[in-house]
Amino acid sequence: MSGTEAIRTWDDHKIGIEALSRKFDTNKDTGLTEAKVAAHKAQYGDNALSKKDVVPWYCLFFHELTGFFSLLLWFGSFLCFIGFGLQKDKDDKANLWLGIVLAAVTLLTGIFSYM
């Protein structure tokens, strides 16, 4: 049994102050002795929260730009650019503008999601 399941077996709140003092080898009035404090510190380390793993900002931003729906929009934009490149009538810029708009919307959505 580990993690959150072990919490279910805690009974410290039910056993009373005297039993709790015996369980943790302390005194309810004076607390731990200096020797016990040093021993506990050596055994358990400092009484501090552990550092959280920090993911760099550019990884988070890239993650926002590469979600499933974002990838669909990037792919659609890419197809519009290919369509514009393959078409014979270069005066019709509908595919070019659609590709630019899809890329811009996807980029702006990623920026807003990141923020």
Q: What does residue 6 show for φ and ψ, rounded to 5 degrees?
A: -70, -25
Confidence label for 2 from pLDDT (cuts 50, 70 and 90): low
CA-angle at 42, arms to 27 and 10, nearest 5°: 55
Answering whether pTM is above 0.75, one says: no
Contact between 73 and 101 under an 8 Å Cβ cutoff? The reply is no
pLDDT of res. 51: 83
Taking residues 72-87, what's their average pLDDT? Answer: 95
Summarised one tens digit per residue, pLDDT across range 41-75 is 999 888 888 888 889 999 999 999 999 999 999 99
CA–CA distance, 83 with 106 (Å, rounded to integer): 19
How far, CA to CA in Å, does 43 sit from each of 37, 46, 99?
A: 10, 9, 61
pLDDT value of position 1:
58
List Cα–Cα distances, 92 to 87, 88, 102, 113, in angstroms: 9, 9, 17, 33
Phi, psi at 26, each rounded to 5°: -140, 180
